[in-house]
């Protein structure tokens, strides 16, 4: 039997339906490979027993001709930001070490109801705050990709770095991610995988550890646009338990992949040609536009004038919301407690010991911009600029159907690069963060390799709740790019 | 915008995060760097722009005001660091 871990989800579903292999065989192949790939540190918690039980249950359903779900028997990794009943959920933080939720997040409930098999909980930046997976209390995740002729370990992107590394290394067929400023799309771009952040409100946030509630969205990382469409179709949908989840029918995303993009208008935002953009990224972006044009799309230059303000706006809004959301970690109801002589001392010592450096930095920034005397100058101004950024997109979408941009300013980098200056690290999200502020769907598709042999991604941005057109365009891009490269040793 | 150690100490108290005295100057420098970078937002003219707190332009949905969950103290307390007699506990706050 060929290596089952290299199949796409779509192909694996076909193979399972045709009884070419069992869900247990598929799961076992992944568990074996997880054992060989421990050096990547992609999983915080492996759950082989749960995986085998779920795979056996799936095989039984198929054997007796019972109804099977859209992901029946497919082994997936779950970002450790999704609460999973009875299975440790850490958010990559010491403060939640050992936390075993007594409930299951809506998104994972939907995945498991559809027959998905959980291989384990995937590593991430602490509370999803980071772009390199270096801020996890449970250690760095290593990107399976290396520069040609250079054995330096590279980052897998973040915050969904365990998800991207696992999918690229074939130790999960797909994975859940979350994206607050680029945390699905940036790691997907750095690992040669596909990742989509759907429209804000498309997936329920219930049971996902909150970072910045007006920006957070769940989405899949997988190895093809079609696989992302399959997973998103299961993950999406209205949930009364999340008041921001939208009551709207979920289209059949897979069926929408017709391959026909004739007449589609693709926007190229001139403001994304940032200073110092490498020739490689710029060439790839132009090539992407050519690929879409060759398939009948029309290319138009557009303007998103407030683009340069998106990142600083984000670094007010996200920390402000985070400082409020993370107030709940106080050592009283769950998680770490460091004893103190008074209630305040207990809070202060618990939070000092439980949170890492980047999380503390963001809580302090958030507290500052919300504090008396600074609220109007910073927070209110950021909320107004956010409205202008949304208006930029609303105006642009009068003339185009989809927007094409690079996913990231560079390929994967080493663990000690971009280290000294937080602002330098924040620039990783320069192309992705606008999409969160505007609540739009965005997808990253692997489009080529740089001169060091590392994957580069292109991002497409769609209208709110038009993931269908977005996925269709992304598949056209995927087809033309024909990205087949593999990390060495995978 | 430059933050001094005293301001950082004050924010840290508000955020209930203990920061050792020795770490304050370094932290002040880091946060000042970030805030200086953020200053560029001041150049945007936002006169007449309504602030945006979220992307969903609609009212929050309502549900009937009924009890629809609860009654399971063991689940609620399952992850508490030091539960006692069916309660969360904290250090003594009243003398």
Given a cut of 60, is residue A43 above it in pLDDT?
Answer: yes
Contact call for B52 and A378, based on CB within 8 A = no
Contact across the interface for A380 and B51, Cβ inside 8 Å? yes
Residue B1 clears pLDDT 70, i.e. is over it: no
Q: Does pTM top 0.90 for this prediction? A: yes
pLDDT tens digits, residue range A201-237?
Answer: 999 999 999 999 999 999 999 999 999 999 999 999 9
- Which 8-state DSSP code applies to residue B54? -
User: Which residue in chain A is spatially nearest to B56 when comparing CA positions?
Assistant: A244
pLDDT digits (tens, 9 = 90+) for A253-267: 999 999 999 999 999
Per-residue confidence (pLDDT) for residue A427, from 0 to 100: 85
Give B89→chain A minimum CA distance, Å.
7
Q: Which residues of A touch B14 (CB under 8 A)?
A: 367, 371
pLDDT band at residue A1, thresholds of 50, 70 and 90?
A: very low
* A363 vs A354: CA distance, rounded Å: 13
Q: Mind telling me how many Å the CA of A96 is from chain B's nearest CA? A: 10
Domain that holds residue A357: 1-490
- Which site among B45, B51, B66 would you substitute to test the A interface, given the most A Cβ atoms closer than 10 Å to its Cβ? B51
Residue A204 has a pLDDT of 98
Considering only CA atoms, which of B73, B76, B28, B77 is closest in space to residue A364?
B28
* Alpha carbons B59 and B57: distance in angstroms, whole number: 7
CATH number at residue A319: 3.90.1300.10
Q: What is the ipTM of this complex?
A: 0.95
Cβ contact A274:A304 at 8 Å: no
Beta strands in A335-429 (DSSP E): 402-406
Tell if the CB–CB gap between B55 and A200 is shorter than 8 Å: yes
Closest listed residue to residue A198, CA positions, set A457, A444, A442: A442
Alpha-carbon gap: B10 to the closest alpha carbon of chain A (Å)? 9
State how far the Cα of A40 lies from the Cα of A133, in Å rounded to an integer. Answer: 12
Mean pLDDT of chain A: 96
DSSP type of residue B42: G
In this structure, what token pair is assigned to residue A14? 């076909």
Q: Could you give the CA distance from residue A239 to residue A256 in angstroms, rounded to a whole number?
A: 23
Interchain proximity A383–B54, CB inside 8 Å: no
Q: Which ranges constitute the DSSP H helices of A81-208?
A: 106-113, 161-168, 185-191
Specify whether the CB–CB gap between A223 and A472 falls below 8 A: no
Partner residue facing A387 (CB), from B41, B52, B63: B52
Q: Which residue in A476, A429, A161, A191 sits closest to A310, CA to CA?
A: A429
pLDDT at A199 over 70: yes
The closest alpha carbon to A135, from A342, A357, A387, belongs to A357
Chain B closest-CA separation from residue A438 CA (Å): 6
Q: What is the domain partition of chain B in residue ranges?
A: 5-42
Span between the terminal Cα atoms of chain A, in Å: 17
Query: What pLDDT is recorded for position A278?
Result: 87
Most distant pair of Cα atoms in chain A: their distance: 70
Question: Is A79 a known active-site residue?
Answer: yes
A15-30 average pLDDT score: 98
Number of domain units in chain A: 1
Q: Is A479 a catalytic residue?
A: no
Rounded-to-integer distance, Cα A284 and Cα A301, Å: 16
The residue ranking higher by pLDDT, A193 or A2, is: A193
Backbone angles phi, psi at A243, to 5 degrees: -65, -15
For the segment A267-283, what is each residue's pLDDT rounded down to a tens digit? 999 999 988 788 999 99
Catalytically annotated residue among A33, A54, A79, A197: A79
Query: Quick one: average pLDDT of A340-358?
Result: 97
List A105, A163, A164, A183, catalytic entry: A183
Per residue in B10-58, pLDDT (tens digit) is: 999 999 999 999 999 999 999 999 999 999 999 999 999 999 988 887 7
């Amino acid at each position: 039997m060929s290596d089952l871990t290299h199949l796409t989800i779509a192909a694996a579903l076909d193979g399972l339906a045709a009884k070419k292999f069992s869900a247990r065989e598929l799961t076992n192949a992944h568990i074996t490979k997880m054992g060989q790939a421990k050096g990547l540190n992609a999983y915080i918690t492996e759950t082989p027993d749960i995986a085998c039980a779920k795979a056996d249950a799936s095989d039984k359903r198929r054997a007796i001709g019972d109804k099977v779900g859209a992901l029946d028997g497919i082994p997936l990794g779950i970002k450790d930001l999704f609460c999973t009943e009875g299975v440790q959920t850490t958010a990559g933080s010491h403060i939640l070490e050992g936390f075993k939720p007594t409930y299951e997040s809506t998104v994972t409930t939907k995945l498991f109801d559809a027959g998905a098999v959980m291989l384990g909980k995937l590593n991430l930046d602490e509370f999803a705050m980071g772009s390199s997976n270096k801020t996890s209390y449970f250690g760095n995740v290593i990107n399976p990709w290396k520069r040609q002729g250079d054995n330096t370990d590279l980052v897998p992107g973040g915050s969904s770095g365990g998800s991207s590394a696992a999918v690229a290394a074939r130790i999960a067929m797909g994975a859940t991610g979350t994206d607050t400023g680029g945390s699905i799309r940036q790691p997907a771009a750095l690992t040669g995988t596909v990742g989509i952040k759907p429209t804000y409100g498309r997936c329920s946030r219930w049971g996902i550890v909150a970072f910045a509630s007006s920006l957070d969205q769940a989405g899949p990382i997988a190895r093809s646009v079609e696989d992302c469409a399959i997973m998103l179709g299961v993950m999406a949908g209205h949930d009364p338990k999340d008041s921001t989840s939208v009551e709207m029918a979920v289209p059949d995303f897979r069926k929408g992949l017709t391959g026909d993009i004739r007449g589609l208008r693709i926007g190229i935002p001139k403001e994304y040609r940032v200073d110092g953009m490498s020739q490689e990224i710029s060439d790839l972006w132009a090539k992407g536009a050519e690929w879409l044009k060759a398939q009948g799309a029309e290319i138009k230059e557009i303007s998103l004038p407030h683009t340069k303000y998106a990142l600083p706006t984000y670094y007010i809004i996200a920390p402000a919301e985070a400082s409020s959301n993370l107030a709940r970690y106080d050592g009283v109801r769950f998680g770490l407690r460091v004893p103190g002589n008074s209630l305040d001392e207990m809070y202060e010592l618990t939070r000092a010991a439980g949170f890492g450096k980047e999380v503390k930095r963001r809580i302090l920034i958030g507290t500052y911009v919300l504090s008396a005397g600074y609220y109007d100058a910073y927070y209110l101004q950021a909320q107004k600029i956010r409205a202008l950024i949304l208006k930029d997109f609303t105006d642009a979408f009068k003339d185009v159907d989809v927007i094409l941009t690079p996913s990231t300013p560079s390929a994967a980098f080493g663990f000690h690069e971009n280290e000294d200056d937080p602002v330098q690290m924040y620039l990783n999200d320069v192309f992705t963060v606008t999409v969160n502020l505007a609540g739009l769907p965005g997808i990253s598709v692997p489009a080529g390799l740089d001169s060091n042999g590392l994957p580069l991604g292109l991002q497409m941005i769609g209208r709110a709740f038009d993931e269908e057109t977005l996925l269709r365009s992304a598949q056209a891009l995927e087809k033309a790019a024909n990205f087949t490269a593999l990390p060495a040793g995978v | 915008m430059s933050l001094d150690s005293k301001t950082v100490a004050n924010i840290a108290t508000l955020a209930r995060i203990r920061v050792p005295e020795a770490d304050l100057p370094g932290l002040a420098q880091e946060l000042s760097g970030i805030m200086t970078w953020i200053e560029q937002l001041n150049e945007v003219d936002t006169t007449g722009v309504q602030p945006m707190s979220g992307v969903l332009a609609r009212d929050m949905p309502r549900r009937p005001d009924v009890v629809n969950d609860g009654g399971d103290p063991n689940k609620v307390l399952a992850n508490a660091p030091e539960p006692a007699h069916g309660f969360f506990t904290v250090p003594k706050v009243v003398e």
